[in-house]
Every structure is written in C-alpha cells, then in structure tokens.
Structure 1
Amino acid sequence: RLIVSDTKAIAHILQDVTNYKKPPSLQYHLTRMVGSGVLVVEGEQHRKQRRIMNPAFGNLYVKELSPVFMEKSLELRDIWAQECASRSDGIYRTDAVTWLSKLTLDIIGRAGFNYDFHAMEPHAEHDELQEAFSTIFGAGSAVFRILQGHVPLLRLVPTQAQRAITKAKKTMNDIAGRLLAEAKQIQSATGEKLWDARDMLSLLVRSNTSPEVPENQRMSDEEVMSQIPTFFVAGHETTATALAWMLFALTRAPHVQQKLRNELLSVPTSTPSFDELNALPYLDAVVRETLRLHSPVTTTSRISTQDDILPLSKPITDRKGNVHDSIAVGKGTQISIPILAMNVDPEIWGEDADEFKPERWENLPTAVSSLPGVWGNMMSFLGGARACIGYRFSLAETKAIVFTLVRAFEFELAVRHEDIISRSYVVQRPYLASDLDTAQLPVIIRPVSGS
C-alpha cells in the first residue's frame, strides 16, 4: 500500500484513469450506495455517462437552478425566524445538521428530479424515497461495512442491515423508474428542447436522446435511473456536511462571521442572482476556506492495473542514500490519496495551514498552484477525468444557503468546541464526543438586529 502526497504524482494518478482505477473495496461501498452511476463505473462506460451528464452540471444550467436554491433557503430562514419569535428570549437552540440536511434534501429533490420531499414542513412524515436514501447511506455497523469492503465473503452474511438495504434499493429503483417515465412523457408530449428542462433528470433525458448522441452512445434507462443517487450525493449529502462544518468554523471565529455578514448585508436584495452571489469575494473566500479545512471527503484511493512510474515534484532519498525523481509502482498496488492532508499541508499552505483564515485566499503561497484540484487550488473535489461532476451545483447551492442564513442570524456553538469531533464514512460529519450514534452540531441561533 502506498500513500501519495506528492502533487506531481497525484496529478499523474488522477489523469491516468486507464491505469489507476477504484480498488474493489471502494467500488463495493460506492456501488452499495449509488449503484452503477457515474461515480462508480470505469472506462468507456464512465466516459459515456459523463459526456451525457455534463450539460446538467455545467454553469449554464446550474445558473438556471439558482432560484430553487434561494427559494428553499428563504423557507428555512423563515422557519428559524418563527422559532426565534416564539421564544421569550428570542433564541432558538437546535441541531444544525438536521436542518441543513432537510434543506439540501428539499433542494436536490426539486432541482435534481422535480420531486418534493417536503422535508422542512412541520411534522413532516418521512418520505419513502428519503427513507430509502437514509437506509442506504447509514445502515449497519461502520466497522462491519469496512470489513465487507475488504473481505468479499462477509458480503454474503444475511445481516439485518443488508436486508434493509435490499428493500431500500427496491424502493429507490421503483421511484426512480416512475420519475424517469414522467420525465420522458413530458418530453414526448411537449417536445421541449434541451434547455427547457426544469430539473437535472429532465435535462439528462433530453441530453441522452439528443440527435447529436449516436444510439450506441446513449445510456440505458437503468443507467439514467442510477444517476438519481448521484444527484443525491452531489447536492445533498456532501453539501449539508460542508455547510455544517462552515457553521462550526464561523462559531469559532466570530470576527469572520461578522465580516461575512457585513458583506452579505451590503447586497440590496434578499434574492441575489447566481452572478451576484459569485461577485461577493469574502463569501467566496469563506466557502473556499471551509472546503479546504473541512473537506467532506477526506481521502480516496486507487489501484494500479499495470506497472508504472510515478513522477515526483521533489526528489526523495531512500534508506541507502540514493536520490530518486520518480517511484516505481507495481501492478496491483493500492494507493491512498490523502485529500484533507493535502489541503492542510504546511509545505503547501504555510505554517498556519491548520487555521481557519479566509483572508489567505487574497494572497496564496506559490506552492498551492501545484495542487491538481479541479476547483480552488485544493483537493476537495479531486481533479482529472474523475473530478467531482457536481462541484458547480454544490458551490452555487452552498453560497445561496450561506448568504441567506448568515445574513439573517448570528450563530453560536451550544457546546464547547472541544466536544465536537469528526467521524468519517464516505463523508466526515460532526458528532458530539459523548454521542457517536448521530451526526449533530448543536447551535444557538439569534436573529440579526433589524433583519
């Protein structure tokens, strides 16, 4: 097993998708959760799916979805405002993870596949698709899940969690089939063009049936349906986690929170456009710094399918004193890419690499440019041909939510910051050290004066 932290070597690995593929253990975990979607498949199948899906995740269409992000963010703002108003001290104590998860679930439902979860409605019952997603992403012991990834025989053990996942997948596939049928029916009945689509699934259907795509290059219905969990991961799971860590960081740095709020309050509207949000430099810096310091996905791995030579940006000296500017990698070598470690490496970011300082983005160290990330000179969305396809969607969603909530409320941690720890299974979430069963971030919310 090889842990690679050299930027030139990582760039080589991420670009060479033919030789470096996801190892069987990671393939198992991802397939278990999202099926055979673009996050999982390899080779020509991946290139085909990605080519057809690219329009749905491009800036042009994400920009069209911006009103959905704002509408749902304002809905949560109003709910929190009512909660504060109903209390004698005007303060609302709650778990941010729960609410942010509900918010991003409603957003991905509407923007992803024209589906209403109604997750933020009072006394809302669990939707069957929401229940299926929750089961697939959370069922079973974390230790046993990891062992299943490395010991295939354990996957045959008929556990209660495995039965729950099988049932959840059937539910998800049934609903995905209905959503796909509805999207295809609307397209057939209205003759809508590619950019008339109202959600990413509809856009994907139109893109897949475009005359520009040869019949033998189109996705099957099963492949299209398997992208719905991909939308879910891109717009819900990772985004809600990043937002929770952002609130955590802002509660620990009140001066940053206030500086950000001042910039947001300078905007004369509560519903800025996609372009107006992207024109806010400190908001952009806070988002970048959060994703750098609290990357939802902390590591990824690859396995070499043939012998190779990894180039190095800095020569290394072996035990015998020999200097090397490359490393030989044998076929079958497991390689770990430490995403979070690269994001906080002092040799790249400076001695204050582990500090939350949005101002660093005004003048980055030269070494940062060597990181092969697809966005923001960081590894949080990876890089190369398998970089996160949904990063533009996630960033636009994140900025809309942060703009709305930080503009309206002051946030304070309801526990000591030392009581919050991170635990990771696919994504790293905040937990109370005294309660490792459920991800949570207890916060105190106060309305901003005059808001």
Structure 2
Amino acid sequence: MLRVALAALLLVACLLAVILPQVKRRLRQFHAFKTIPGPPCPSSSFWAGVTKQLHDPSTIEYREHVLTQCGRVVKLPAFLGDIQLSISDPLALSALYGKYRDAFDLPGWHSETFSVVFGPGLTAARGHQHIKQRKHLSPVFSVRYLKDMISIFNQVAQELSDTLADKASRDSEGTEVEISEYLSRFSLEAVGRTALGYSFGPINAHGTHYSRSLKEFGPTLVKLQLWRPLLPWVKCLFPSSVLRYLASVIPWHPLRHMKAISDDVYKTSRQVLRRKGELLKQGDEVMRQEIGEGKDLVSILLRQNVTGLEGERMTEDDILGQMSLLLLAATDTTSTTVARIVQLLAENQDVQETLRRELQDATVHTGRTLLDMDYDEFVRLRYLEAVVCETIRMYPAFYTGNRVSDEDAVLPLSEPIIGTDGKPIVELFIPAGTIVWINMVGSNRDTAIWGHDANEWKPERWLAPQPSSVAEAHIPSVFANLSSFAAGARSCIGYNYALTEMRMAVAHLVLQLKFTPSDKEIVWKLGGVVSPSVRGSKSTKPEFPVVISRV
C-alpha cells in the first residue's frame, strides 16, 4: 500500500513539474500581451484559440487577412491558453535576428518533426551542429555553383516546356491541361539532377515512391499540425525505435502515412548516397560522366569529407538528412511559385506579352535559344526578374516562419501600436518560451513600406527605383528587401537556387506557350506550402488546370 502511495505521489510530482512551468509561462504571457490587439475570430476558444482557423487548409483567406490586415503585431490565442505573436515590424525583426540571434530558434517540435522524418538535416540541427552543417552547404548554394549547373537547369526546363507543348493545341482556342503535376516533376527533376546527380525519369513519365512520398509530406504534416507540439515530450519518454513501432501500429492514417513517407525517403536517399560513394572511389573521370558531372551537392559533400578535418566531417546520417530536406524544401516551394506565376500571367495577358517580347528579343531576334544563355544573361532579363520578384513578394511560399526564445527578450518597434486600452505600445516584452510568427507576407505587403498599392501584383514596380520608404525601413532580408526567404542564421540557404529554378521554368514556358485561364476556379490552400486547387475538389493533391496553346 505504501509503495502505491509513493508511486502516486511521484506521478503527481512529475505532472506538477511539467504543468507548473507551463502555467507560469502562460500567466506571464497574459500580463505581457494583455493589451496587444488580436485578430477577429468569433469562434476562438481556450482549448484551441485561433489555431484551427489559422491552420485549416480551406481558410487561407482568413490567415492572409490576419497576417496582412491586422497590423505589424498581432496576438494569436493558441492551444490551452498559450499566446503567440505575429510580428512584421522591421525593427523588432532586426532585434530578433541580431541582438537576440542566439536566443530565438526554431521551436523544438518543429526541429523534432524534421529530425524524426528526414534525419539530422539543416532544419533539424541546432547550435554548433547547425553552424557546422550550414558551413558545409554554403558553397553548394553559391552563385559560382549555380553557374556550373545552369546547363542542367536549362535542359530540364526545356523538357518541361516541350512536354506541355506536346499537349497544347496549335489553334488559338487552346487546350486545358492540368499542369501542377508537370511543374512538380520539373522541380523535383531539376533538384535531383543538380543536387543528387540523380534522375527520377523524363518529365512526361515521371514518378517513384521517393518522389510521391516527398509530394505527400506537406498535406500529411498539416493533418498532424495540432499534435506536433507534443513530439519533444514523447521523445523524452520513448526511444526512436519505440516511436517508430508505435507509429506503425496506432490506427491513425496520417501518422502511419508519415512513417511510410519517412521510410521511403530514407531508403532511396541511402541508395543514392552509397552509389555516389562507390563512384567517387573510381575517380573524377567516372564522376564527370554522371548526370551531375560530379558537381552535384552529394558529390561535393562526399569530397569535403575526404579532404576535411576529422572533427569537421559530416556523418552519413547528416548527408542523408540534407538530401531529403533539400528535395522537400526545393520542390514544392518552387513548383507552387511557378504555378502562381503562370496563373498571374494567364490573368494578365499584357504582362505575359511583354515578358514574351523580352524573351524573343534575347533569343529569336538574335538567332539564339534559351539553352545558349548563361546564368548572368538570365539575371539581366529585367522584366523576367520583375515578374519573379513581384510574385514572391505578394505570394511567398511560406507566409510565416516560427521562432521561440529560450530567454526573455525586449523587441523595439519602429512605430508604436495602439493597445486595446488606447495607449501606445513602443516595445514588446517577450517572455521566454513564447512562439513568435515571423510574418513574411505581412512585411512584403506593408503599405507603409511598399506604398498604397502594396496589395496589388505589379511587376512594373521593380523596373523603377524602389520607394525611399523601402530602404528606410531596413527590412532584415537576404534578397531584394523581401522577407520571403527570412534572414539571420535560419535564412533560406537555397534562395538563389530557387530563384534560378523559377527563372528557367518561366522563361522556357512563356517563350513556347501561351496561357489563358481555365473555366475552373482556382483556390489556394495551406498544405505545408500554399498550393493550388480547384474549388469544390476533394483531391488532397495540388491541382492547376490552365488553357495552353503554342506560340
């Protein structure tokens, strides 16, 4: 009897040890954020806050409204009384990325998700491990590397446009084609050849377990969204082997499907890596005969391991994690952005014709083809660059990025916000443990920074000097004063890589094909990244029908 009582007391003590710090943090948040305005949400509850509305794939309009219309600082009630903040104020973000750069990092459940599914890749790594991995990967994403890869990008983009041209009508009426699958194949194949030195097959007959698993990761992750914060606690209680077993026997389809995705990705990545290792032993001449000509990411990382110091080398699991994460991060994000560009061009025929004339002036009128152009020549196509920049300004692949601080922080504001009590708030006290949403889309559409037409898609804004308000805002950014790729230690390491893919795809498509809208209404849903769908469709996969005809 005494043992039972002691066990009960121990259990109660453990529960209190877990619960009391959470209660204390929520009370500190309540007092710190008491007067910060929140979003309109009549169905907000203590149990879920506004989490359901913000993460529901079918309510992207509500999410977009909150992030772009409710101010630079927004209080977001979350799970069990937790409070999160959406921040797009440039001065506050500068402090987050600068003064508090070592304090704010990805939430533990975010890193753990990627670690469990894909292994110790860049997103899962923290602290010194993250610095080490980023140092290894930086040369692979440099402009110098991309210049070496431009012919491969060009070839895959040409395959994409040729494949769609085969399906297009030669008359002015055009043919409706569902192109989201082809754009996804292009992105995956481009990254496969340049990063892995591996082909998933021709664009017109593409697909493996590996590619399908990667495409299903985002929608599956959304179904698990509410339960992801529990992952660090579960990992403390059970080893990975037990967790994987439980994931295979618990009768919950999203969980089982996520395990199957993890298994498929790991198996194929391991096969590719081992084959690369064997080829590397045979010498550079053999490597040059491969798809990536020995210049792909995996080959470079393996060579660095041969020549690097013992303590600086990456383990096999590290490299496997980078392979899987890169394919995930660089495929859906790029393909959905290209889909968005095609939709906007179809809806704005004058912009499409202007872009086509620029491409024809660079090729047809000079007796050249896009395949003859190098990296710098693509960058110098001003209108193409304007179309790409304006699209990623208005519609970044990720609307937000999450960070959490392990210490109290005070973030200054460039302009005061008015609290619910009518008093101005000039700085934000952020209690340790608070999740902050870095509001990328809100920053990109801020009318005080980008002008009164910030919520309109206007490529021409990039052909003239930017308003002085853009430079004066000092937006933390790695590209063109945009928040689309974040900033700081966790900024998108592959942003130049993604931009190169987009330029290639759009240039080849517009030069060869004309796009007009389909009769079907396109809506955009949240599924990991924001992706297109047809209104009323029950499909969980991206869908983007558009009418195409040959130029």
Does the alignment reach a TM-score above 0.5? yes
Contact 1:310–1:326 under 8 Å retained in 2? yes
Q: Which residue of 2 aligns with 1:187?
A: 280
TM-score (norm 2): 0.75
1:256 maps onto 2:359 in alignment: no
Contact conserved, 1:84 with 1:90, CA < 8 A, in 2?
A: no
Q: What corresponds to 1:442 in structure 2?
A: 545
Q: Is the Cα contact below 8 Å between 2:157 and 2:505 reproduced in 1? A: yes
How far the C-alpha of 1:281 sits from its partner, in A, is: 0.7
Please name the residue that 2:179 is paired with. Answer: 96
Map of 2:297 onto structure 1 = 200
Shift, 1:90, TM fit: 7.0
Alignment length, in residue pairs? 439
Residue range with higher mean Cα deviation, 218-227 or 267-276: 267-276
Matched, 1:79 2:180: no
TM-superposed deviation, 1:382: 0.7
Partner of 2:209: 128
Equivalent in 181, 188, 209 of residue 105 of structure 1 = 188
Letter in 2 for 1:81: A
What does residue range 218-367 of structure 1 map to in structure 2 within 5 Å? 218-268=313-363, 269-270=368-369, 271=371, 272-316=373-417, 318=419, 325-361=426-462, 362-367=464-469
| Unaligned runs of at least 5 residues, structure 2 | 1-83, 235-242
Q: Which moved more, 1:175-184 or 1:58-67?
A: 175-184
8 A Cα contact 1:283 1:399, kept in partner: yes
The superposition leaves residues 388-442 of structure 1 with CA deviations (integer Å, 9 ceiling, x where unpaired) of: 01111111111111111101111011036xx222211321111222115332111
The change in CA–CA distance for 1:198 and 1:414 in structure 2 (over 3 A counts) is: same
AA aligned to 1:377 is N
Q: Amino acid of the residue matched to residue 334 of structure 2?
A: T
Inter-CA distance 29–365: structure 2 relative to 1 (3 Å threshold): farther
Which is worse superposed, 181-190 or 63-72?
Answer: 181-190
Aligned to 2:525, which of 407, 411, 423?
A: 423
The equivalent residue for 1:19 is 103
| 2:495 is equivalent to residue 391 of structure 1 | yes
Give the superposition deviation at 1:92: 2.7
SS in 2 for 1:335: strand
Q: Is the 8 A contact 2:446 2:454 kept in 1?
A: yes
Match for residue 63 of structure 1?
147
User: What is aligned with 2:270?
Assistant: 177
User: Is the partner of 1:428 in helix, strand or coil?
Assistant: strand
Question: Which of the pair has more CA radius of gyration?
Answer: 2
Preserved contact between residue 171 and residue 549 of structure 2 (Cα < 8 Å): no
Give the AA of the match of 1:328: F
Give 1:111 deviation, angstroms.
1.1
Alignment CA distance shift 1:209-1:8 (3 Å)? farther
Whole-angstrom distance in 1 between the partners of 2:177 and 2:422: 58
Corresponding residue number in structure 2 for 1:148: 227
Instruction: Provide the rounded CA distance (Å) in 1 between the counterparts of 2:422 and 2:265.
Output: 57
Q: Aligned AA for 1:254?
A: Q
Q: Which runs of 5+ in 1 are unaligned?
A: none
Alignment deviations for residues 114-162 of structure 1 (CA, whole Å, 9 cap, x no partner): 111115234x5x312213323434437x3x4111113448996722332
Distance in 2 between residues matched to 1:340 and 1:32, nearest whole Å = 29
Q: Note closer, same or farther for the CA distance 1:32–1:354 as it changes in structure 2 (3 Å cut).
A: farther
For 1:217, the equivalent position in structure 2 comes to 312
Query: What is the CA–CA distance in structure 2 between the aligned matches of 1:311 and 1:214, rounded to whole Å?
Result: 42
Three-state SS of the structure 2 residue aligned to 1:39 is coil
**RMSD in angstroms over aligned alpha carbons?**
2.5
Range with bigger deviation, 7-16 or 109-118: 7-16
